Chains A and B, each alone.
Chain A
Amino acid sequence: MTSSQQAVLAATAITKTFGAHVALQNIDIAFRPGEVHALLGENGAGKSTLIKILTGAYTPDSGTVLVDGTPMSFATPLQAQAAGIGTVYQEVNLLANMTVADNLFIGRQPRRFGLVDQRTMARDARRILAGYGLDIDVHAELSTFSVAVQQIIAIARAVELSGKVLILDEPTASLDRSEVLKLFEVIRVLKARGLAIVFITHFLDQVFELCDHATVLRNGRLVGSQPIDDLNRTTLVRMMLGKDLSLHEDAVAGIEAEVGESLMQFSAYGLGGKVQPFTLNIHKGEVIGVAGLLGSGRTEMARLMFGIDTADQGELILDGKSRKIRSPRDAIDLGFGFCPEDRKADGIFGDLSVRENIIIAMQAKLGWFRTLSRDEQMEIAGHFIEALDIRTASAELPIKLLSGGNQQKAILARWLATDPRFLILDEPTRGIDVGAHAEIVRMISRLREDGLALIVISSELDEVVSYSSRIVVMRDRAMVAELHGADIAPDVIVQTIAAQPTSSAPFEGAAP
């Protein structure tokens, strides 16, 4: 252990549950002064829950948060701030229509004779920002500056207010390469000043470029916490995506043999700045798994295939004809279906009944006037509720009252009712309980046997390996590999994802 120094902020045995869902289980973590600590994990791994506990937004069910070795219990983020913990979020959390100086000092403006002392405030603001290498007009409105500058101002404010620990939640997500470098300089200065810095990102390059220590969370558990010098890209990706891989070698199933005839081909299909052109031949009766880290372009590829975004290059050949997909409606008319990643925002109609949620895509296909009678609706809904074992007290219950797994099954039923030939499932098992998880995995295999073509995006490597006939690996918004046969193994996927990217910086992408 290189870390003889005492942790300025630490958490021990933190557990937090939301209802039946365990968000964090027995997490130990320590942040030391003068260290940049990367906090890594896929969506839903528990990063934000942990941050919210450290900053007092949530109270843990059990476990202790220690500042300088003293147990603290924060009831509000303000108390955490007073204890020295500052946070900067991805979306800059400042007042865009006020001046830079106002933003730095709001709530604690220097006063003179009971009035705000503008002169002192401006002078102090300039002095603070000079420490970050920024020489800007502090009387200008914040919104006149770039996101990167706003980000630095937000950091400056957080450091001024707290001063011991700085938590940066995906600060580089909306910055370009030069801005990222600028931000890194600032972070290095703060590190030299002895701050403990928590850096949340999903760009591996940035982790190796900037950080001293990395902690990986997955499904609410601590996978590992090590100095960065002891890690390489492969181990890090493995920690983020897979379990102990050696245990799962038998999961490599050789189901490639019985793939059906070709259904369609995307050739050089892409969208500038979002998805690099990819070529993919999709067959009947096969499951194509899509692997890749968050932000690798996997969801963007799915959106493109379903017409939520419209491709600006390449073509799709289906039924021997060139097809254009400009909207989900076009895709649905071709027999496509899409279960989105964010079920609540893009999938379910919360207040509508399970029945209505199931029949709606079919009815949308039929149009306004060719109406399914109530009896027909009941029959279709009843059929799928039984076939997919959707647990609901009644088909008339608002779907928002169902569990996540049953909502997911209902959305699957919605598409199956349209008799599709191609289904895209984006993280179909995220945030659902273990039982429903297994059922959905089984269902994917059954649909493949029925001759459907499926694309399944998943962060669960074991899972994606178990049902895929082929795996496509995404990295930096591009399809970088197609794995077949014996290569369909967690190890190979991890290697492929972790392989050093080419010279182009990941966050620049193919900027228009």
Chain B
Amino acid sequence: MKIRLGSAFMKPQFAALLAVLLLNWLVFPGFFDIAWRDGRLFGSLIDVLNRGAPVAILAVGMTAIIATRGVDLSVGAVMAVAGAVAATCAVAGQPLIVTLAAALGIGLACGLWNGLLVAYLGIQPFVATLVLMVAGRGLAQLVTSGTIVTFSDPALVFVGTGSLFGFPMPVVIALVLMLAAHALMRRTAIGLFIEAIGTNLSAANYTGLRSRSLILAVYGFGGLCAAIAGTIAAADIRGADANNAGLWLELDAILAVVIGGTSLLGGRFSIPMSVLGAVIIQAMNTGILVSGLPPEFNLIVKASVIIVILILQSDRVGELVAGWKRRSTVLPQADQAKSKTQVNIQAPEKMG
């Protein structure tokens, strides 16, 4: 177990995160400062986690979807729908439990709709979820009647801006969701089944997996995660903006999953690594912000860093590096072999 944990920390994603954090520290020396004020933690690092939470939550659901060889482009729009529903409920004076149930329920329904199109009607995930990506914003606008609905229900606002054990609520929610989802995947057979479906759908069907219902459930879970993220985003700004809430975040979520090492071709996946990917993305965003670099550079810097991370992860580069290492270490290996034989020769003498 210890060895597996150790090798997990050897993954390039950790190196990438470390590099990004160090770079941030170089351009902004106060980056690692953390202060305790009013019963909660403050600092750039905490800010990275807090700002990264919505994408991390999206990435949790997106990981499972991508592992089935699918994709969900609608999560940003579903965030807007859930935010709009939550805001409307709060304005109507509903208690928190009703507000949350309504927001999460609509997210789940959106996800199941996607799953229905993909699993039962056989529509390509890209196209199937594109429908809701476009229609979702329209739906959100209908809910808010085209205005930005603001609210001040303290219970709902707490979800976005409160704190627990010193950590911002979004961070706590993301962490709990990540751990729960990871346990659900790995303590049950669901994770294995998802990987089997993503690796070879035909073989999965021949093996008796109920792949359709599992794919449906996975998209439903993705919608649920999007609704959680949408509720947090709305609670954070105390308002629902149908046009801009969650805008383009589906792309960040997909990117987080890819950075986390899950292949877009499906198969093996890791939810914690995807969350790490989301943290890396947010660390870059924050870094560019605090560095005082002109905002025009933001997207270009981000793209460059991402390219570097993806190159580091690519199998082909891995092979090249391994080949280069082999060639340059031929001599030492030969030496090792020699010393081993010497040991062998000496061993009987010792015994005698």
Contact = CB atoms under 8 A, between A and B. Distances in A.
Contacts of B190: 368
Contacts of B199: 349-352
A371 B208 contact: no
Please indicate which of the listed interface residues A329, A360, A365, A372 has the most CB atoms of chain B within 10 Å of its own CB.
A360
A329 B189 contact: no
B344 interface: no
A363 B192 contact: yes
A17 to B, nearest CB: 25
B208 A369 contact: no
A414 B207 contact: yes
A326 to B, nearest CB: 12
B189 A361 contact: no
Nearest to A399: B199
Interface string B186-217: 01111011011001101111111110001000
A84 interface: no
A302 to B, nearest CB: 11
A306 B208 CA distance: 10
B267 interface: yes
B268 interface: yes
Interface residues of B, number: 22
A300 to B, nearest CB: 15
B270 to A, nearest CB: 14
Contact of A340 (B189, B193, B206, B268): B206
Interface residues of A, number: 32
A328 B208 contact: yes
B206 A338 contact: yes
Given A352-B196, A368-B193, A369-B188, A347 B203 contact: yes
Contacts of A366: 189
Given A348-B200, A350-B199, A352-B195, A369 B189 contact: yes
Nearest to B205: A328
A340 B203 CA distance: 9
A76 B143 CA distance: 62
A372 B187 CA distance: 9
Interface string A324-356: 000111011100001010000111111110001
B114 to A, nearest CB: 20
Contact of B202 (A345, A351, A352): A345
A367 interface: yes
A106 interface: no
Interface string A295-309: 000000000001010
A361 B267 contact: no
A329 B210 contact: yes
B206 A360 contact: no
A365 B210 CA distance: 10
Given A346-B203, A348-B200, A350-B199, A365 B188 contact: no
A136 interface: no
A30 to B, nearest CB: 41
A441 B174 CA distance: 54
Contacts of A352: 192, 195-196, 199, 267
Nearest to A400: B199
A349 B196 contact: yes
A364 B195 CA distance: 13
Contacts of A367: 189
B188 to A, nearest CB: 5
A306 B205 CA distance: 11
Contact of B193 (A328, A331, A364, A365): A364
A340 B199 CA distance: 17
Nearest to A415: B207
In this complex, the member of B187, B190, B196, B207 whose beta carbon has the largest number of chain A beta carbons within 10 angstroms is B207
Contacts of B195: 349, 351-352, 356
Contacts of A360: 192, 196, 207, 209
A360 B207 CA distance: 7
Contacts of B203: 345-349
A395 to B, nearest CB: 14
Given A347-B203, A360-B196, A365 B208 contact: yes
Nearest to B197: A349
A340 B202 CA distance: 11
Nearest to A350: B199
Contacts of B214: 368
Contacts of A340: 206
Contacts of B210: 329, 364
Contact of A371 (B189, B205, B209, B268): B189
B202 to A, nearest CB: 5
19 contacts: A327-B205, A346-B206, A348-B203, A349-B199, A349-B200, A350-B199, A350-B200, A352-B199, A360-B192, A360-B196, A364-B193, A364-B208, A364-B209, A365-B208, A368-B189, A369-B188, A371-B188, A371-B189, A414-B207
Given A361-B207, A364-B208, 9 more contacts: A308-B206, A328-B207, A328-B208, A346-B202, A348-B203, A349-B203, A351-B267, A364-B207, A365-B208
Interface of A: 306, 308, 327-329, 331-333, 338, 340, 345-352, 356, 360-361, 363-372, 414
Interface of B: 187-190, 192-193, 195-196, 199-200, 202-210, 214, 267-268
